[in-house]
Structure 1
Amino acid sequence: MNLVEQGAGFAAFWQERHLCTLSTARPGRPPHVVPVGATLDLETAVARVITSGGSYKAGLIGASGALVALCQVDGRRWSTLEGRAVIRTGPEEVADAERRYAARYKPPRVNPSRVVVEIQVTRVLGNV
């Protein structure tokens, strides 16, 4: 999927500072929805969320990955990215995600157990 084709408004919306929500499935229960900071690489259609390796969301995604939804809203503008999430633990992958997070939000606090929720976007919904 080429997210560049979504246009300049979409690109700007995913660069502005907005909190997002990450929704993951829980077996036999309602979705688990949590606030997160997220970044989006338009050219590779990969969204990233940094989190602790022991977090509930990381556990739900697990070693085999999971389908997730990442959403952000600002007034009437909103965007949801759907795709398959995997957990990345490599030091270079974590450092790259931290750099991207710092560029959109602020430098993240030190967390030696940090991992990256990497989402390959397969579907885009929204109004931006």
Structure 2
Amino acid sequence: MPDLTSRGERFAEFWTERHLCTLTTVRPNGTAHTVPVGVTLDLESGIARVICSRQSVKARLAAAAGEVGSVVSICQLDGRRWSTLEGRAVMRDDPGSVADAENRYAKRYKQPRVNPRRVVLEIKVTRVLGSV
């Protein structure tokens, strides 16, 4: 597991600035499913979070993988600056995990709309690529 805190201030700032990201998951037939998402990154724990609806493809893929998690890639870019985080996504639907992810999202982006079907994908980062 990479130590994200050791990647420096430029990396930390890049992952707190307001940027949309893409999340790529892998369908059971091996094809990629890529969608735009908002992502929050906890440098200390090495966990990225994506809030979404329970019925979304990304949530269903993570739920089907169970605690092993589904293989995912998150990419964020701004001009020549870019960063990709790879890891495994686990779906969490307990109120505490969802509320925590909503609060993190609100700090980086804006207060999310009310969604009673909301879940959070917790992605344990295993690899980092990029120019920051």
Alignment TM-score, normalising by the size of structure 2: 0.94
1:23 deviates by 0.2
Supply the distance in 2 between the matched residues of 1:66 and 1:56 (Cα, whole angstroms): 12
Structure 2 residue matching 1:4: 3-state secondary structure: helix
Supply the distance in 2 between the matched residues of 1:32 and 1:72 (Cα, whole angstroms): 16
Identify the match of residue 105 of structure 1 among 102, 106, 109: 109
Q: Confirm or deny that 1:55 pairs with 2:60.
A: no
Q: Confirm or deny that 1:126 pairs with 2:127.
A: no
The answer for the alignment partner of 1:36 in structure 2 is: 37
Root mean square deviation of aligned Cα: 0.9
Name stretches of at least 5 consecutive residues in structure 1 with no aligned partner. Answer: none
- Tell me the alpha carbon deviations over residues 70-116 of structure 1, each in whole angstroms, 9 at most, x when there is no partner: 11010000000000110001101000000000000000000001000
The amino acid across from 2:5 in the alignment is: V
Matched residues, number: 128
How do 1:63-102 and structure 2 match up within 5 A?
A: 63=64, 64=66, 65-102=69-106
The amino acid across from 2:42 in the alignment is: D
Q: Quote the sequence identity (%).
A: 65
Which runs of at least 4 in structure 1 moved beyond 3 Å after TM superposition? none
Alignment TM-score, normalising by the size of structure 1: 0.97
- Tell me the alpha carbon deviations over residues 25-56 of structure 1, each in whole angstroms, 9 at most, x when there is no partner: 01235200000000000000000000001111
User: Quick check: which one's strand share is greater?
Assistant: 1
1:24 deviates by 0.2
1:57 deviates by 0.9
Supply the distance in 2 between the matched residues of 1:61 and 1:37 (Cα, whole angstroms): 17
